[in-house]
Amino acid sequence: MSELRVLHHDDDIIVLNKEPNLLSVPGRYEPDCAQARLAQVFDTVLVIHRLDQDTSGIIVFARHKAALTHIQQQFEKQTTRKTYEAIVYGRPPTRNGCINMPIIVDWPNRPLQKISHSEGRYALTRWHIKEELEGRTRVALFPKTGRSHQLRLHMQQLGCAIVGDPLYAADRAANEPRMLLHARHLEFNHPATNKRLVFQCPPDF
């Protein structure tokens, strides 16, 4: 259990602190993932949401279909609360801010995403500077939406790509051991009791 970094489990849900460089779900050529590892311990592990392979932090899985539906609806209605922490190259233009740029998959260059004001889906991210470092900045990121690569692409658009990002900072990421993006806070209502659950897990960077 400790090897999997399970933060909480009961008859309805499993909350995991996913390590970096681990898929959330099986890939096309890579079966090893958080879901598969949990399935070795728990009978049923259903995917509610995902974290990018390079992103670490809090992710919740369901143990049956009713829990899956209940929590997925919370994500869709944006009643969950998520906070990420990252270290970015440079410094955002203001201490607090918001970036609202629609995102669409960059089909010729998948899995890359791109900004498209004509065809992209609404995507909004708020940021707050936590600490200024030498040539870098530690930021808290608050995504209102959950588009693929949203935080990574939005920070790149600000001129402050996430340190170690192999897709959106490839020219600078080669010598970094990992991408410095971590899902550190997640709130949602328990699918059985409706009690508000709050999970916090600081990054190790």
* Domains in the chain, CATH or no CATH each: 2-80 (3.30.2350.10), 82-181 (3.30.2350.10)
Using an 8 Å Cβ cutoff, are 107 and 119 in contact?
no
Banded model confidence at residue 1, pLDDT cuts 50, 70, 90: very low
Instruction: With a cut of 90, say whether residue 179 has pLDDT above it.
Output: yes
| Alpha carbon 161 to chain centroid, angstroms | 15
Specify whether 52 is catalytic.
yes
What Å distances lie between residue 113 and 101, 110, 121, CA to CA? 12, 7, 11
- Choosing from 43, 52, 165, 171, the catalytic residue is 52
pLDDT in tens, 22-61: 999 999 889 999 999 999 999 999 999 999 999 999 999 9
* Extended beta strands in the chain, E state: 6-9, 13-18, 46-47, 56-62, 81-89, 96-100, 103-105, 113-115, 124-133, 136-143, 181-189, 196-200
d(CA 87, CA 137): 5
| 28 SS3 class | coil
Using an 8 Å Cβ cutoff, are 55 and 182 in contact?
yes
In this prediction, residues 128-146 reach a mean pLDDT of 97
Burial of 194 (0-12, 13-18, 19+ CB in 10 A): exposed
CB-CB neighbours of 170 under 10 Å: 10
Instruction: With a cut of 90, say whether residue 185 has pLDDT above it.
Output: yes
